[in-house]
Amino acid sequence: MSERWDCVVIGGGAAGLSAALVLGRARMRTLVVDAGAQSNLTAHGIGGLLGFDGVPPAQLYARGRDEVTRYPSVEVLDGEVASVTAHEGGFTVGLAGGRAVEVRRVLLATGMRYELPSVTGLDEFWGGSVFHCPFCHGWEMREQPLGVIAQGERAIHMATLLSQWSDDVVVLSNGPAEVSPAGLEHLTARGIAVDERPVSRVSGADGQLDTVVFADGTTLSRRGLLVASTLLQRSGLARALGVAYAPPGPLSEEAIAVDAMWQTSVPGVFAAGDVSVPMPQVAAAVASGSAAAAAIVRSVTDGGGRMSTYDEQDVKAHWEARYGERERVFSGRVNPWLAEVAGSLSPGRALDLGCGEGADAVWLAENGWHVVGVDISETALQRAAEEVAERDLCDRTDFVQMNLSEDFPEGTFDLVSAQFLQSMVQLDRERIFAASARAVAPGGVLIIVDHGAAPPWANLKHDHEFPTVEGVLAQIDLDPGQWETLRAAPVERDAVGPDGQQAVLVDNLIVLRRRADG
């Protein structure tokens, strides 16, 4: 049987160990897998980290390991993660050598590798007199002749910043500088020259750079170089997991996109450190690891799914704007699959999730059901209330304003209907469906209908994947001893678009009945 952990932290650098410390103090069973070879191990010391300023990185990591392993719930393992496979309830993490562990959460803290400009000799002085961050190394390079290997706007920014530490800075563009006249004027005003000669190599002695050699054989004396490096993923796990990357920036082409809770696009997978922070510094990595760990603890103790990072007022504003586009957004007709399923049932209590302007609730009430309709939009609920009042159905309907990703109606129902709970604003569907199942009374029915694909006339402004029947069933993961599957398959229906377009649409229809003795 595989081992079970609350979290695996992949990476034992500043972010990973910082996260492990918080997780350990929160009594979370945490496995840290450290492949070593952190990118800053060649540095003479850590610049700008309170309490560790100037301390060699290896000492920080050794002390960090000692601290986190004092907590009995934390284990640090030297090795590599070979694979991470998501499944319902968590992940299976395969370690090099064959060991496998089951985890509830994954934190990617694998760090980045630095791709340097193609100049011979830079690697030899990397982390010392060749560096990427003036805040980390500028103090040690102060008041010396320095160079910046970069082009374009990045050269202007880097050289201007570096001039805080030295009055002798030159841009070495290693070919055309690609600097605008205004940018060149800015550099000249700061006393910064631009040299476009191709750079052949750099040289020095005893680990200290002293000379830049150009392709024409001429040389320039420099004691330090700030280089425009590119950050790339050190590990292939992020790509294998399918996490989304942030748009390429001046520093990184492969930064993992995270939200305010350090969650990636893959539920249950978090990221911290250089893989996701906008500024690669040890201090930033420590801070992100600590914050990500706190978010992981919250996600586990809150009961499972992806935490909402939307402020409720922002979500409400989105839907208020949606319903405010025109006097009626939807057709006012009942969803056909609800009518087909509920038409064969004996009326009782019904819960209509995401009821919108109330078409389904009205149909249910007219067919003898007592209905609770839930939506986050006050505008939609007001329209629904006006509709039932006009039809004299107020005694059979009750509307509740609620964010289903955060809260859920109390009580049990003979029918729970979730029709097209898909949104420009991502919903916590796993949490909603779990609560929906709990709300079904013995003998009652849960119906879930999703768009299986976009209508041909849709102009989608999001990249959310359309769920599959199999994916939803796996997400709900109901006990077959307590539930009976009545229908679970894609279905087709004829539809007419906003401009009269006719098409056959594919929906995913799931109908489940709680057994009377379940």
Domains (ranges, CATH) in the chain? 3-112+231-301 (3.50.50.60), 117-228 (3.50.50.60), 312-514 (3.40.50.150)
In angstroms, rounded to a whole number, what is the distance separating the alpha carbons of residues 278 and 296? 21
In angstroms, rounded to a whole number, what is the distance separating the alpha carbons of residues 293 and 109? 11
In angstroms, rounded to a whole number, what is the distance separating the alpha carbons of residues 21 and 107? 13
Residues pairing with 85 in the sheet: 92
Which H/E stretch holds residue 292?
Answer: helix 282-301
Tell me if 351 sits within 8 A of 409, measured CB to CB: yes
Tell me if 263 sits within 8 A of 270, measured CB to CB: yes
Structure-token pair, residue 69: 């392993």
Query: SS3 string of 133-159?
Result: CHHHHCCCCCCCCEEEECCHHHHHHHH
pLDDT tens string 29-49: 999 999 998 888 888 888 888
Which residue, among 124, 208, 253, 165, has the nearest Cα to 148 in the 3D structure? 165
Give the pLDDT of residue 304. 53
Alpha helices, DSSP H, located in 88-229: 122-125, 134-137, 152-162, 181-189
Structure-token pair, residue 162: 């570096």
Which residue, among 218, 221, 220, 225, has the nearest Cα to 159 in the 3D structure? 225
The full DSSP string for 366-395 is: HTT-EEEEEES-HHHHHHHHHHHHHTT-GG
In angstroms, rounded to a whole number, what is the distance separating the alpha carbons of residues 510 and 518? 19
Question: With b meaning 16 or more CB within 10 Å and e meaning fewer, what string describes 475-496?
Answer: ebebeeeebeeeeeeebeeeee
In angstroms, rounded to a whole number, what is the distance separating the alpha carbons of residues 237 and 496? 44
Tell me if 272 sits within 8 A of 19, measured CB to CB: yes
Distance of CA 298 to the CA centre of its chain: 16
Residue with tokens 């294998």: 240
Strand order in the sheet with 370-375: 397-401, 370-375, 349-353, 413-419, 440-451, 502-514, 483-496
The full DSSP string for 434-476 is: HHHHHTEEEEEEEEEEEESS--TT------PPPPPHHHHHHHH
Which residue, among 168, 134, 130, 126, has the nearest Cα to 149 in the 3D structure? 130
Tell me if 148 sits within 8 A of 315, measured CB to CB: no
Which residue, among 213, 182, 187, has the nearest Cα to 199 in the 3D structure? 213
Tell me if 11 sits within 8 A of 109, measured CB to CB: yes
Residues pairing with 268 in the sheet: none
Give the pLDDT of residue 1. 38
In angstroms, rounded to a whole number, what is the distance separating the alpha carbons of residues 359 and 372? 13
Give the pLDDT of residue 260. 81
Q: What sign does the dihedral 92-94-100-105 (CA atoms) show?
A: negative
Residue with tokens 């007709």: 333
Residues in the chain: 518
Residues of the chain with pLDDT under 70: 1-2, 278, 302-315, 317-318, 321-322, 324-327, 329, 423-426, 457-465, 497-500, 518
Give the pLDDT of residue 213. 96
Which H/E stretch holds residue 73?
Answer: none
Structure-token pair, residue 148: 């910046």
Residues pairing with 270 in the sheet: 107, 263
